[in-house]
Amino acid sequence: MRLQYPTNINIIRVPCTGKVDILHILRAFEKGADGVYAVGCMEGDCHYNTGNLRARKRVEQASKILDTVGVGGKRVQMRNLSSGEGPLFVKFAKEIVEQIKELGPNPLKQAKAGIQKEKNAA
């Protein structure tokens, strides 16, 4: 199909979204990611039965934590599609990139830069 999706996405492949842990999501933000989204199979279609359902729960938990620490819970989301839905993958990618752009960059990047600036000044 040779569909184009936004180039600022870094795809991390996992055998199943059930592999995605809260820590993976949180570390991504610690390292400066502006947003993270997990794309799993359709609910009810998981090869391992509950992998994508577990992923959704973890995404929800990560979202709550990010809200608490002031990074913003909307920066992490879950999407579902079947493996044959390339155009939908592109649609999700564009949608999420658009939403994250509206939210602006990860506030931690700015905070880090601020601390570095203070250090340099001192």
Partner 1 sequence: MIVADKKPIEEIVEEFGQVKNLLIAGCNECVTVCEAGGKKEVGILASALRMYFLNQGREVKIDEVTLERQCDHEYLEEIRNMVDQYDAVVSMACGVGIQFLAEEYPKLPVYPGVNTCFMGATEKRGLWVERCQGCGQCILAKTGAVCPITRCAKRLMNGPCGGSTRGKCEISQDTDCAWQLIIERLRMLGRLDEYEKLFPIKDWSTDRAGGPRKVVREDIQL
**Residues engaged in binding partner 1 (CB under 8 A):** 21-23, 26-27, 29-30, 65-66, 68-71, 107-108, 111-112, 114-115
Q: How far is the CB of 119 from partner 1 (least distance, A)?
A: 9
To the nearest 10 degrees (0 to 180), the angle between helices 22-30 and 51-69 is 40
List Cβ neighbours of 114 (8 Å cut-off, separation of 6 or more). Answer: none
Cβ proximity to partner 1, 12 vs 23, nearer residue? 23
The angle formed by the CA atoms of residues 64, 68 and 72, to the nearest 5 degrees, is: 70
Q: How far is the CB of 71 from partner 1 (least distance, A)?
A: 6
Q: What residue type is 95 in one-letter code?
A: E
Cβ proximity to partner 1, 14 vs 88, nearer residue? 14
Q: How far is the CB of 84 from partner 1 (least distance, A)?
A: 32
**Other beta carbons within 10 Å of 34:** 20
